[in-house]
């Protein structure tokens, strides 16, 4: 009979968890410790610049607990989407922290690095051969869009993790992977059925999010031939059929099906039952194998931004804030073209009024005048100097812009001196496409080395 227990201490590496929760999971018989190190959720900057969103101290604190307890128990530690976006630099950054921990703790580890970064040069011929197709709402990919990406990653499935485990890896640090692959890899390798393995992985991928206390630590998922059981790792946390079932809808466009590289998980007929006041048993989830695909993520530079912020409290201006914002924007655009020769294509100028409709724009249901507004002037241009010049040019108007019928020049409350704040490059996600494996082959690259002591 197949049986595998995976300890998931938190929803993200660096989020933090207690040492006791790891001890509890190992006492429950954990066979592996798995955690996700990132996603696209923090935005396109992290992939575009290949930089992590968490400080190394937070990553090291979590890794140290997992590695020290995992090695003492003789079970592997699996990390996916290293360094937030899972670029090669992210893998090397997290692997470097693992090496440092091994040295400090006097451990010798077999460390597997699984890389999943791709390039336009690798993908170009695959695109030409018809091996890349769009997912909704994207259109067909072009070589020009591939070339615009600063970094491209392909989401790993469970297979390269399974291969590294078979090769005897103690610690796996992988590039971009599906959140679920890091958790499903061990049970799949040990013969557990794919429906329960993938559903257990989806349930546990955000750690305690599937419990009644989402901030109360991670979970252990125990997968077997017939289903899986979810157990919270903190003594004061509980799973209920509702809390477990509800997690399937989290950050998922379709609550019943989830596509993985090797096929599709379907939980339409899943049944959730309470084993006691804190453990939940799940059965009935199915997985249908499909031709292997690798989902791509890519991020490129749209332009460079500089901003400035003015606080507005004047009731007369607030009463007609829409007119004020439009006239400021139009006047700055006029001056940018008149003095700097910047057309609308060369300098994108926007005024966003926080406190009024900055968050929802034209779908905001509120209409009344705001109590206070933070007006953010945003200039986006082809280079940083031009963006900043646009904001500095606008400085007196952002400070003093009157309403059309005012007989005086108001002065607003600037956030800072200098008023202009260079923001650096603005990145955008550019890919919503998948690669067919038959055209692309195996896109993952694995290196295993012995590290430590």
Partner 1 sequence: MSPAPTVGELAHLVRSKNAGPFWQTLDVFLDDDASYRAVAEAPAIDPAVIGPLYRVDPASVRIFRLPSIRVVKISFPRRATQGGIADRDMHAGQQHVPLARLRLDATAP
Give the residues lining the site for partner 1 (CB under 8 A). 40-45, 135-138, 242, 245-246, 249-256, 297, 302-303, 348, 352, 358-365, 380, 426-429, 432
Nearest to 84 by CA among 119, 112, 56: 56
Nearer to partner 1, 60 or 267 (CB): 267
Q: Which residues contact 334 (CB under 8 A, 6 or more apart)?
A: none
Angstrom distances, CA of residue 42 to CA of 39, 45, 85, 417, 434? 7, 8, 9, 29, 21
CB 211 within 8 A of CB 219: yes
Q: How far is the CB of 153 from partner 1 (least distance, A)?
A: 13
Nearer to partner 1, 21 or 49 (CB): 49
Nearer to partner 1, 358 or 437 (CB): 358
Q: How far is the CB of 251 from partner 1 (least distance, A)?
A: 5
CB 170 within 8 A of CB 76: yes
Q: Parallel, antiparallel, or unpaired for β 219-224 and 149-154? A: unpaired
Q: How far is the CB of 135 from partner 1 (least distance, A)?
A: 8
Nearer to partner 1, 35 or 258 (CB): 258
Q: How far is the CB of 158 from partner 1 (least distance, A)?
A: 20
Q: How far is the CB of 90 from partner 1 (least distance, A)?
A: 18
CB 285 within 8 A of CB 266: yes
Give CA angle at 338 (332, 344), nearest 5°: 60
Q: How far is the CB of 363 from partner 1 (least distance, A)?
A: 5
Q: How far is the CB of 209 from partner 1 (least distance, A)?
A: 12
Nearer to partner 1, 412 or 427 (CB): 427
CB 83 within 8 A of CB 91: yes
Q: Parallel, antiparallel, or unpaired for β 77-84 and 171-174? A: parallel
Q: How far is the CB of 66 from partner 1 (least distance, A)?
A: 27
Nearer to partner 1, 130 or 365 (CB): 365
> Is the previous residue joined to 170 through a cis bond, with omega within 30 degrees of 0?
no
CA distance 126 to 117: 15
Q: How far is the CB of 427 from partner 1 (least distance, A)?
A: 6
CA distance 439 to 92: 28
Residue keyed to tokens 């460390």: 111
Nearer to partner 1, 24 or 380 (CB): 380
Nearer to partner 1, 432 or 446 (CB): 432
Nearer to partner 1, 235 or 269 (CB): 269
HEC-encoded secondary structure of 275-343: CCCCCEEEECCEEEECCCEEEEEEEEEEEEEEEEEEEECCHHHHCCHHHHHHHHHHHHHHHHHHHHCCC
């Amino acid at each position: 009979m197949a049986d595998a227990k995976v300890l998931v201490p938190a929803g993200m590496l660096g989020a933090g968890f207690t040492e006791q929760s790891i001890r509890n999971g190992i006492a429950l018989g954990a066979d592996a410790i798995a955690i996700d190190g990132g996603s696209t959720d923090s935005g396109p900057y992290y992939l575009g610049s290949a930089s992590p969103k968490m400080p190394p101290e937070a990553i090291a604190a979590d890794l140290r607990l997992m590695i020290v307890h995992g090695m003492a128990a003789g079970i592997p530690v699996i990390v996916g989407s290293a360094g937030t976006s899972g670029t090669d630099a992210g893998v090397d950054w997290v692997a470097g922290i693992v090496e440092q921990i091994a040295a400090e703790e006097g451990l010798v580890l077999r460390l597997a690095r699984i890389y999943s970064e791709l390039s336009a040069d690798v993908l170009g011929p695959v695109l030409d051969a018809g091996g890349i197709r769009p997912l909704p709402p994207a259109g067909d990919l072009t070589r020009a869009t591939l070339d615009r990406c600063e970094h491209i990653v392909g989401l790993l499935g469970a297979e390269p993790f399974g291969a590294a485990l078979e090769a005897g890896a103690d610690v796996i640090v992988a590039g971009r992977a599906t959140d679920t692959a890091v958790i499903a890899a061990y049970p799949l390798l040990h013969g557990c059925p794919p429906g329960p393995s993938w559903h257990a992985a989806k349930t546990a991928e955000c750690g305690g999010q599937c419990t009644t206390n989402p901030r109360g630590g991670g979970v252990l998922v125990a997968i077997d031939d017939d289903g899986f059981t979810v157990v919270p790792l903190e003594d004061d946390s509980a799973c209920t059929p509702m809390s477990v079932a509800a997690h399937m809808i989290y950050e998922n466009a379709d609550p019943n099906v989830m596509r993985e590289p090797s096929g599709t998980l379907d939980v339409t007929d899943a049944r959730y039952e309470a084993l006691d006041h804190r453990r939940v048993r799940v059965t009935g989830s199915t997985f249908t194998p499909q031709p292997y695909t690798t989902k791509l993520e890519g991020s490129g530079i749209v332009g460079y931004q500089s901003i400035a912020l003015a606080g507005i409290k004047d009731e007369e201006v607030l009463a007609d804030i829409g007119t004020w914002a439009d006239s400021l924007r139009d006047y700055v655009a006029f001056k940018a073209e008149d003095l700097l020769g910047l057309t609308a294509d060369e300098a994108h100028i926007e005024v966003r009024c926080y406190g009024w409709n900055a968050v929802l724009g034209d779908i905001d249901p509120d209409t009344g005048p705001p109590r206070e507004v933070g007006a953010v002037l945003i200039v986006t241009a082809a280079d940083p100097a031009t963006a900043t010049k646009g904001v500095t040019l606008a400085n007196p108007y952002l400070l003093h812009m009157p309403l059309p019928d005012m007989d005086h020049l108001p002065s607003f409350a600037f956030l800072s001196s200098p008023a202009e704040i260079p923001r650096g490059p603005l990145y955008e996600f550019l890919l919503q496409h998948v690669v067919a494996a038959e055209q692309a082959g195996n896109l993952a690259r694995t290196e295993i080395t012995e590290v430590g002591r």
